[in-house]
């Protein structure tokens, strides 16, 4: 496993101020602290007891923050061996037992038997452009409950082709990054 060049901090909940080891890997881009703080302020009324999916988990900071703030369980999906090992190590050290790490490609994971989630984090490596296919597979594959919330992080100014029943709820920008929270509706709006 590669050396751990950095650490990021969990900012709220029962794991507040815990540090996560971050491996030195190309393209690994942890969600900035102030963006996580904003997101979890948005999620505060609904996070307790939710089952969450951290797709393209990377450091796992979003999913671990969700666990820290009361999520019932988090499924992490991360294809890179070094990232998955670091994530497992962080979860073990933090005694986060309501978590599972699947070391596999996100699309491969979504082709499996669905286990519907109430919260999903969609923050794929920017260079791969996976937002539309992953969102479509989550929606069509039965991975989201009605009313699920979906967090999406992408390059600022990039138009995303997301399912029409994912209704924008909140959004913001930080530097070159756009982030938004969507709510899933069973009803597809008329165009």
Give me the domains of the chain, ranges plus CATH numbers. Answer: 6-184 (3.40.50.150)
pLDDT for res 190? 56
Q: Cα(99)–Cα(96) distance, rounded to whole angstroms?
A: 6
What DSSP state is assigned to residue 188? P
Residue 166: how many other CB atoms lie within 10 Å: 23
Low-confidence ranges of the chain (pLDDT < 50): 1-4
pLDDT for res 189? 58
Confirm if 28 and 56 have CB atoms less than 8 A apart. Answer: no
pLDDT for res 64? 95
For residue 36, which of 168, 154, 155, 153 has the smallest C-alpha distance? Answer: 153
Confirm if 35 and 172 have CB atoms less than 8 A apart. Answer: yes
pLDDT for res 31? 78
Measured in degrees and rounded to the nearest 5, phi and psi for residue 173 equal -140, 145
pLDDT for res 42? 96
pTM of the predicted model as reported, rounded to 2 decimal places: 0.90
pLDDT for res 88? 95
Q: Cα(141)–Cα(40) distance, rounded to whole angstroms?
A: 26
């Amino acid at each position: 496993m590669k050396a751990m060049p950095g650490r990021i901090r969990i900012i709220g909940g029962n794991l507040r101020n815990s540090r996560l080891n971050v491996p030195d890997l190309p393209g690994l881009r942890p969600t900035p602290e102030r963006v996580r703080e904003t997101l979890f302020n948005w999620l505060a009324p609904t996070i307790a007891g939710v089952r969450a999916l951290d797709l393209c988990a990377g450091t796992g900071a979003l999913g671990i923050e969700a666990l820290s703030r009361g999520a019932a369980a988090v499924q992490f999906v991360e294809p890179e061996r070094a990232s998955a090992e670091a994530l497992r190590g962080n979860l073990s050290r933090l005694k986060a037992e309501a978590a599972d790490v699947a070391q596999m490609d996100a699309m491969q994971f979504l082709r499996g038997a669905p286990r519907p989630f109430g919260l999903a984090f969609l923050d794929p490596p920017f260079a791969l452009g996976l937002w539309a296919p992953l969102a479509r597979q989550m929606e069509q594959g039965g991975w989201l409950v009605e009313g699920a919330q979906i967090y999406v992080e992408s390059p600022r100014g990039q138009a995303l082709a997301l399912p029409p029943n994912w209704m924008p709820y909140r959004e913001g920008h930080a530097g070159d990054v756009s982030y938004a929270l969507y709510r899933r509706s069973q009803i597809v709006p008329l165009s």
